[in-house]
Structure 1
Amino acid sequence: MLRRDSNRNERTQLSSDAALKVIYDRYRVSYAPFTINDFVHWSGTTVKRTKNIVHENSSNKQPSSIENNRGSVNVRTIPKFDPFVVSHKTKFYIAEENIPRIYKKAGHIEAAILDNGVVVGFWKKKNNRLDDFMLFDNNEWLKDQVIREAKRMKLLDSTEK
């Protein structure tokens, strides 16, 4: 759908630094929490150039950490190959011993379960329905939260458990 109030032939001229700032802001909104090295890995730019972009405008927020997001219940299911799990250089959001459970051989990446931005398990679907899920820790409260999220995402009927 084309907005009638915009001229599609009109182009905005941005310097390369201004364009990188726009990309950085969009990355920050989409993939936080992250570090500058994650952005550099994802974008292919340099650390020095990214730091200049971040520091030139004081309204830019610094990259956030997972610890800042702790404290509220935020269980989410994300699909296979979700950008969250492929857009960071380091795997700070998953315990080292659980990396092989999400990142399989031949580049396959499982659908993950997140709790406040930390991978706590994986899930599988069959015929667009939740087929099975596995949590890395045996936590009944978290299992209930995953089922609640699956119902919210319409992966389960409200009567299923």
Structure 2
Amino acid sequence: MRLAALLLAALLATPAFAVQPDEILPDPALEARARDISQGLRCLVCRNENIDDSNAQLARDLRLLVRERLAAGDSDAEVVEFVVDRYGEYVLLNPTTGGANLILWIAGPAMLAGGLGLAALYLRRRRTAPDAASAALSDEEQARLAEILKD
């Protein structure tokens, strides 16, 4: 009895997929490919949710489009390329590292390295700068100070 309850709880704890029964392809191999592709495609309505997990109508349309292209004989790369051409690179959950995106991938680490370099330069200059408190006054400065203190 406890084992059955534990198994039921484990089944209910799995993620809820929004894929409807009428969307599933009859060929298990094609369906597995469709699920793999769908995991990398962003729902344009829900933002950071893949299209398999989204209940939005646009996500359903994308799931159907992926399955339609696979059934037509497209490779996985061709399906992804088709969707990206149609909806833009934003549809990818993991954007490519080429083209204009290369700037975005490099910008963060480059700014971190630049900031660390500036901090190191500041600390080095601070360490080698003469200490203002230990600098002795010249004779002229001492005379001027004595004159000021008299008044």
* Same topology, TM > 0.5: no
Whose Rg is larger? 2
TM-score range, shorter chain: under 0.3
Structure number with the higher strand fraction is 1
